[in-house]
Structures are given as structure tokens and as C-alpha cells.
Structure 1
Amino acid sequence: MQASSHLVLDTSVALGAVFADEQDDYSVGVLQALTDLNAVVPVLWHLEMANILSRALRSERISADGIKQCWQHLAVLDLQTMPLEPDARYWTERAYDWELTSYDACYLDLARQQRLPLATKDKKLMAAAKRFGVDIFQPV
């Protein structure tokens, strides 16, 4: 995988593609960059987005038709989904050692293993990435 043409995309950034109130300069910049770059995500990403959207529907932040539109917006991102280590002990150790949730550890681990920059707005994840030499993607 060529580092210059890929990045690891965290859900915190992808939310800008589906919720106007989640858009900021960083999210917009990353999403625009994805016209030229490929986003890589752990398989967990899809479950996180499904959870976020189902909670948004339940709280009436979005309608059922809005959910369909969200998935259409996300489909154009052409994500490359990577498998996860199936051993839960692996993620327990990473989460503890890196002081992250096991979910966030998946993104950091993927970026480390693939030597890709990480696109995230999560402050704890950013700090951990910096500690381990993972670049935070900066849109131009």
C-alpha cells in the first residue's frame, strides 16, 4: 500500500460527510482530499457508523430517508476495509498500553502497521498517534 496515496479514516472525520453540524475545516479538507486519496478503515468502522446513525435515528436527529442519504454519501468514499486481529486479548493490551478505547486502538494499530497517516479529530487518539510516530493527516 502506497503511503502517499492512502490514509486511515476515523469515524470522527467521516461524520462531517453526513451531519452538517459535524463539519469543520478539518473534516471538509480530509473529505475533499479523498477525491485523490484512498481511505483505509478497520472493519470496525462500518459498525461504528451503523451505531452512530441508528442512535441518530432513535434520537430523531435524522430521518429514515436521511439514513439512506448518509449511506449514499459514505459510499462515494470508496473505503478499503481491512480485517482486524480476532484475539480480544490483543485489543485489551493495546487499549491499556496506549490509553485508548479498544475501538480507537484499532485505528492507531492499522495506521502503524500500514505506515499511513491517520485522519482523526479525536484528541486522545491524536496524542497516542504522535507518541508512536504516526502522522496525523493534514489536508492542504
Structure 2
Amino acid sequence: MAEIVVDASVLAALAFQEERAEAARALLDGAVLYAPTLVTYELVSVARDKILRNSASGQDIREQLMEALAMDFQWVEVSYGEVLELALARRLSTYDACYLYLASSRGIPLVTFDTRLEAASRA
């Protein structure tokens, strides 16, 4: 079974049935999922924004959020000092650096829809 680090862009697409939901499902299917605990806050933030924009029922968004957070993840704390250094070296946000750090420290692929983060993961 493949192991991958998954970021909030992929999880949000799947959780909230966004345009790339099927692509996200295909990327995650059958994989062991790793994510920094940060992803929970990012998903809550996406849910908040969706509710405030009234793009869907607030109750539906809340339920989708809870389903996403209940997925079978390996939640991992990261080394904040190393994340900071990686963010500075790669000119990434500290949020993006969390995912990149986790993937590189475990030696497994990072799955993201963020083109900048994807490029950084290949560098």
C-alpha cells in the first residue's frame, strides 16, 4: 500500500466536492495518508470561508468537514525549527513547508493541487 503526504488543497477538494473531487479521490484511493496536524486547521478555515460565502448550506459544509476529519490519517507533528528553515530556504509559507518537511522526512510523495508546492516538492 502506497504511503503519501496529503495537503489541504487535495483534502478540501474531496471533502467539499469541489471541481477536482474525483481527481483527489483517485490520488488518495488505497493509500496510507499522512498529514501534519496543521491540515485540520486548514480544513476548518476552508469550511468557514465556504459558509461565509454561502456557497452551500452551512449544515452541509459542517457535515462534510466532520467526515473529512474522520478519515483514516496518520497525524504527524513536525519539527517546527526545521519547518522554519525549510520555509526560508525554499521561500515557502510555513504552512506549505509543513507538508514538504513531512514528505521529505518520511521519504514519501507529497500529493497537492498547489502548483507552487508541487514544484517545491520536486526540487
TM-score normalised by length of structure 1: 0.77
What is the alpha-carbon distance in structure 2 between the residues aligned to residue 84 and residue 114 of structure 1? 11
Answer yes or no: is the 8 Å Cα contact 1:16–1:22 preserved in 2.
yes
Partner of 1:126: 118
Aligned-residue CA RMSD (Å): 1.9
Q: Deviations along 1:71-121, whole A, 9 cap, x unmatched?
A: 34314531111012244xx43322121121110000000000011111111
Task: Please report how far the alpha carbon of residue 68 of structure 1 lies from its aligned counterpart in structure 2 after TM superposition.
Answer: 2.9
Structure 1 stretch 37-46 or stretch 9-18: which is displaced more? Answer: 9-18
**Runs of 5+ unmatched residues, structure 2:** none
What is the alpha-carbon distance in structure 1 between the residues aligned to residue 80 and residue 92 of structure 2? 18
Task: Please report how far the alpha carbon of residue 46 of structure 1 lies from its aligned counterpart in structure 2 after TM superposition.
Answer: 0.3
Answer yes or no: is the 8 Å Cα contact 2:4–2:111 preserved in 1.
yes
What is the alpha-carbon distance in structure 1 between the residues aligned to residue 84 and residue 2 of structure 2? 31
Partner of 2:102: 110
What is the alpha-carbon distance in structure 1 between the residues aligned to residue 69 and residue 45 of structure 2? 17
Tell me whether 1:11 sits opposite 2:8 in the alignment. Answer: yes
Alignment partner of 1:62 out of 42, 52, 56: 56
Partner of 1:43: 37
Superposed, 1:87-102 pairs within 5 Å as 87=81, 90-102=82-94
TM-score normalised by length of structure 2: 0.86
What is the alpha-carbon distance in structure 2 between the residues aligned to residue 5 and residue 21 of structure 1? 24
**Runs of 5+ unmatched residues, structure 1:** 132-140
* Equivalent residues, number: 123
Distance 1:65 1:24, change over 3 A: closer
What percent identity do the matched residue pairs reach?
26
Partner of 1:134: none
What is the alpha-carbon distance in structure 1 between the residues aligned to residue 92 and residue 38 of structure 2? 15
Answer yes or no: is the 8 Å Cα contact 1:17–1:73 preserved in 2.
no
